[in-house]
Amino acid sequence: FVIVVVDSTDRERISVTKEELYKMLAHEDLKKAGLLIFANKQDVKECMTVAEISQFLKLTSIKDHQWHIQACCALTGEG
């Protein structure tokens, strides 16, 4: 499994996250890995929603890996 924690408030670096995510998923050792994305800091006003993050990362285009995106807040443990 690959677990990625996304800072939902960091709109400037989401493109870096996308680039690194696809590099990881293309690696031979992760060919059969599932993907879990935690969209952290959902408690912060004006953060990106799970839908926005999913759309930006183009998660629906990932066909070779099972994936799930989960809204969460590390401070409260929610999600």
Annotated binding site for GTP: 40-43
Q: Quote the CA–CA distance of 69 and 39 in Å, as a whole number.
A: 7
**Measured distance CA(50)–CA(12) in Å, rounded:** 16
Q: Which residues are annotated as a binding site?
A: 40-43
Nearest to 2 by CA among 65, 63, 52: 65
Q: How far is CA 57 from CA 15, 27, 50, in A?
A: 8, 18, 10
